[in-house]
Amino acid sequence: MATFKPGLVHTPVTPFKRDQSIDFDTYAKIIEFHLRHGADALALPMPEGEDLSLTDGEQRQLLEFAIGRVKGRVPVIAHVSDAGTSIAVERALHAEKAGAAAIVSHPPYFWHPKPAMVVEHLVRIGSAVRLPFFIVNPPVETVGTTLTTEIVLQVTERLPNLAGVVDASLDFVFMEEVISNGRRLRPDFQLVAGADFIVPTGALGGSGVFSPLSGIAPKLVRALYEFCSKEQYVEAREMQEQIGALHHAVKSAGESGLKDGLAGIKAVLGAMGRECGVPRPPVRPLGEVERGKLMEALSAMAFLRAEPRGW
């Protein structure tokens, strides 16, 4: 199998109407926006696409809709994560049939299973399909289970289609260990940045990024990505710091104990002229004070003035 390299992957939000149904007209605009602003691929619905709040049927519908709109212009990566293994396996099979280019999965949500069960869960999803398969290492505070290097290596040994890890843990130690040991098992093993911190991952030998901030600042993310692709990590520092400031402002807004940033991202998108509604319950939208604080932080970020307004 030829190596699938995802490149700069945009991870669109999922817009909802007032009645909480998915707003497909806006979703079509979101997809076009990403394709016009530098996406090498799309991945959906990622956590910033509120996958946890979507029903199984909605996740399938969203993927089919996106693939229909993209029409092969870029690969569409399906995010398939759930608490139960068989639910995730069925959804992965659907994604393959619908024309997804790759599958990306978290460890099982919620249960805190022992490592052997995490391996089993991931192997069952990955072996159900022939597509390239990536595992996400989630932030340590979320979803229950942290992915260890040992788990990744065991899955790699059992799955010929395991392409690599998308790291959202942001943990230097994990990244060092997983890429160095992963490459010993499989020379083309990939480490992909799972948030917009491309410099650390790139310096450690990773490539590609799943970029949650690309809906807000696609130009800056693209420029940072290009510098890192040329191994100009030191030169990329200022851009990475700007991204860091934006990430901090978005993530700190809202009431989420996990700082998931869902309310923040949608508030900023609206302020940039790309109204995507508010998150689904139980996530609360920003209150007036929170919103004011976030907008004030954004107005201090001069680099945002170069970013596209509206669709």
For 11-54, the DSSP string reads -----B-TTS-B-HHHHHHHHHHHHHTT-SEEEET-GGGTGGGS
Q: Which is nearer to other proteins, 104 or 236 (CB)?
A: 236
Site for other proteins in 236-255 (CB under 8 A): 236-237, 240-241, 244-245, 247-248, 251
User: Is the sign of the CA dihedral 53, 67, 156, 226 positive or negative?
Assistant: negative
Q: What CA–CA distance (Å, rounded) separates 182 from 104?
A: 17
**Residue 229 near other proteins by CB under 8 A:** no
Q: Which stretch in 108-116, 169-177, 268-276, 284-292 sits in contact with other proteins by CB under 8 A?
A: 169-177
CA 251 to chain centre: 14
Q: Tell me the window of 29-37, 106-114, 152-160, 176-184 that interacts with other proteins (CB under 8 A).
A: 176-184
| Closer Cβ to other proteins, 8 or 198, answer by number | 198
Q: In the set 29, 233, 271, 308, which binds other proteins (CB under 8 A)?
A: 233
Identify whether the C-beta of residue 49 lies closer than 8 Å to the C-beta of residue 260.
no
Q: How far apart are CA 182 and CA 190, in angstroms?
A: 8
Whether the CB-CB separation of 46 and 168 falls below 8 Å is answered with no
Note whether 208 and 9 are within 8 A (CB).
yes
Query: Are residues 135 and 149 in contact, defined by beta-carbon separation less than 8 angstroms?
Result: no
Decide whether 197 or 225 has the Cβ nearer to other proteins: 197
Number of residues counted as binding other proteins (CB under 8 A) = 29
Of 3, 77, 16, nearest to 42 by C-alpha is: 77
Determine if 203 is a binding residue for other proteins (CB under 8 A): yes
In angstroms, the Cα distances linking 145 to 54, 83, 94, 109, 255 are 21, 11, 25, 7, 22
User: What three-state secondary structure class fits 280?
Assistant: coil
Taking the complex as a whole, how short is the minimal distance between the CB of residue 306 and other proteins, in angstroms?
19
- Contact range with other proteins by CB under 8 A, out of 50-58, 129-137, 203-211, 301-309: 203-211
Residues 6 or more apart whose CB falls under 8 angstroms from that of 68 comprise none
CA gap 77, 133 in Å, rounded:
10
Instruction: Tell me which stretch binds other proteins (CB under 8 A): 26-34, 128-136, 230-238, 296-304.
Output: 230-238
Q: Does 301 bind other proteins (CB under 8 A)?
A: no
Binder of other proteins out of 27, 133, 197, 210 (CB under 8 A)? 197
Question: Contacting other proteins (CB under 8 A), which of 70, 195, 262, 278?
Answer: 195
Query: CB of 143: closest distance to other proteins in angstroms?
Result: 16
To other proteins, the closest distance from the beta carbon of 259 in angstroms equals 10
Residue in 170, 283, 295, 301 binding other proteins, rule: CB under 8 A: 170
Q: Is the peptide bond before 107 cis (omega within 30 degrees of 0)?
A: no
Residue 204 in the binding site for other proteins (CB under 8 A): yes
* Residue (26 or 137) nearer to other proteins, CB: 137
Closest contact distance (angstroms) between CB of 124 and other proteins is 29
Footprint on residues 14-33 left by other proteins (CB under 8 A): none
Nearest residue to 134 (alpha-carbon basis) of 2, 5, 228, 47: 5
Between 126 and 202, CB nearer to other proteins = 202
Site for other proteins, rule CB under 8 A: 170-173, 175-177, 179-180, 195, 197, 199-201, 203-205, 231, 233-234, 236-237, 240-241, 244-245, 247-248, 251
